[in-house]
Amino acid sequence: MNASNETMNCEEYREAIAADPRASSEATDGHVALCESCAAFTADMRALDQRVARALEIEVPAFNMPDLPVIDGDNVSALPVAKRSLLSRPTWLAMAASFALAAIVGIQIFGTIPGGEASLSEQILAHLDHEPGALRVTDVSVSNEQFDRVVNPSVSSMDRNIGLISYAQSCIINGKTVPHLVMQGEKGPITLLLMPDEKVSAATKIDGESVNGVILPVGSGSIAIIGRSDEALDEIEQRVIDSVEWRL
């Protein structure tokens, strides 16, 4: 990406900030000043960068392997049971700090903790909390170029006549890059996540604070539809499903 361009789109901007959260140029500063969603993304990335830096400042003592007794033939059963941990307290603290750092990075990037698995619906709700700027009430549609840039790599086709699409970005859900769209509903913005590689066996409800939604099985993939708790999503579910054709 050429950072000297006068304009940049959200995807280009986020790639630059993900590579260097402190990046600053005429192009990046101009974009983030006009994009509330990318401003929130920048704040999150810089906060994570600071936490990682603080965690890396922890002094980790060298780990000295203790001398082990020599095992002599059949006398293995005669060895005494260790009465204390072989790891010193500073070493345990360093290990705990390392795990905490991994947990912070895991939660920020994947919505999970190391060794744990968040459900698909939990990851979706966490992602919506991460991008509140996408849920704006507006009558301005995204450009055809932006829509095609986000949708075409993952979906063969989608009929834009389902409603006013006000937001289109490529986002990561469950480790996969998917189109994240927002259409304007009767009560407020409605989020659409097109997940061609995320197969679900049956419709799954999504219940969050002040929102409701569903993950619908669609062919070999699925589509998540989330709106305000008072939004009648049943009326648009089939319309959305019929508008999407997965790539082969």
**What is the pLDDT tens value at each position of the chain, 248 positions in all?**
444 445 678 878 887 887 788 888 888 888 888 887 788 788 878 877 777 777 666 665 665 656 655 555 555 555 455 444 455 555 555 555 555 555 544 544 444 444 445 789 999 998 888 888 889 999 999 999 999 989 987 687 898 889 999 999 989 898 888 999 999 999 999 999 999 999 999 999 998 888 999 999 998 899 999 999 999 898 889 999 999 988 76
**Every domain of the chain and the residues it spans:** 10-56, 120-246
If we measure between CA atoms, which residue out of 148, 112, 149, 145 comes closest to residue 127? 112
Query: What's the pTM value of the predicted model, to 2 decimals?
Result: 0.58
Measured over the CA atoms of residue 41, residue 42, residue 48 and residue 52, the dihedral's sign is positive
Distance CA 123, CA 7 (A): 32
DSSP 8-state code for residue 54: H
Query: What is the length of the chain?
Result: 248
Assigned token pair, 210: 């002040």
If we measure between CA atoms, which residue out of 105, 107, 243, 83 comes closest to residue 163? 243
Are β-strands 211-218 and 221-228 bridged in parallel, bridged antiparallel, or unpaired?
A: antiparallel
b/e sequence 171-200, b meaning 16+ C-beta within 10 Å: bebbeeebbbbbbbbeebbbbbbbbbebeb
Please name the residues in contact with 193: beta carbons below 8 A apart, sequence gap of 6 or more.
Answer: 124, 171, 173, 178, 179, 180, 181, 223, 224, 226
Say whether 23 sits in a helix, a strand or coil. coil
Assigned token pair, 167: 């937001």
Architecture of domain 120-246: 3-Layer(aba) Sandwich (3.40)
